[in-house]
């Protein structure tokens, strides 16, 4: 009997010191996390939202490329005017006044567009493949400025 009492006391003593351990175990069972299905639904919603944003951004990208084309072509007007003032009656504009590197614009007029004797000129430019179809049509740069194609 004495042995049984000492065992009981030992168990009670051990339980008293480890009571917090058991409490934490019970409280851990009550803690809930997200289920797999909840996580998959959230991931699907994020994917759908991302695809909607990407589709809407493609239109903005074309508009940005059109704007870059217009800006490149407009910025070339003073350079061509200055070149024609220095080279009245001659000088190949397309060879001597290039577009900046990385520009969305290119010359499309026949080779040998030259400045007139009175400083007048007319050069045709087009946008590259990243611009809209309207900007890929012929636009004009002359001494009065840049005139984009209709709808560009």
- State the pLDDT at residue 47: 96
**SS3 assignment, position 126:** strand
Strand partners, 126: 106
pTM for the structure as a whole: 0.61
Please give the pLDDT value at position 151: 82
C-alpha distance from residue 97 to each of 8, 38, 64, 77 (Å): 101, 61, 24, 10
For residue 70, give every residue at least 6 positions away whose Cβ sits within 8 Å of its Cβ, in sequence order, or none. Answer: 135, 146, 148, 152
Other CB atoms within a 10 A radius of the CB of residue 119 amount to 15
pLDDT, position 37: 93
Phi, psi values for residue 123, rounded to 5°: -125, 140
Helix 2-17 and helix 19-30, axial crossing angle in degrees, nearest 10: 50
The sign one gets for the Cα dihedral 130, 132, 133, 136 is negative
Residue 46 is predicted with a pLDDT of: 97
Q: Which residues of the chain have pLDDT under 70?
A: 1-8, 10, 12-31, 89, 109-112
Q: Note the Cα 3 to chain centre separation in Å.
A: 80
pLDDT of 129 reads 79
Quick one: pLDDT at residue 49? Answer: 95
Residue 54 Cα to chain centre, angstroms: 9
H or E element at residue 52: helix 36-86
């Amino acid at each position: 009997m004495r042995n049984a009492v000492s065992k009981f006391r030992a168990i009670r003593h051990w339980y008293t010191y480890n009571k917090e351990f058991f409490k934490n175990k019970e409280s851990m069972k009550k803690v809930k996390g997200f289920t797999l299905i909840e996580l998959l639904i959230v991931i699907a919603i994020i994917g759908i939202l991302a695809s909607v944003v990407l589709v809407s951004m493609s239109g903005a990208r074309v508009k940005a490329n059109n704007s870059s084309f217009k800006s490149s072509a407009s910025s070339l007007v003073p350079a061509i005017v200055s070149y024609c003032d220095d080279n009245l009656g001659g000088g190949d504009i397309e060879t001597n006044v290039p577009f900046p590197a990385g520009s969305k614009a290119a010359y499309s007029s026949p080779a040998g567009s030259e400045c007139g004797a009175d400083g007048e000129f007319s050069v045709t430019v087009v946008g590259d493949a990243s611009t809209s179809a309207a900007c890929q049509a012929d636009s004009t740069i002359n001494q009065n400025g840049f005139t984009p194609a209709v709808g560009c």
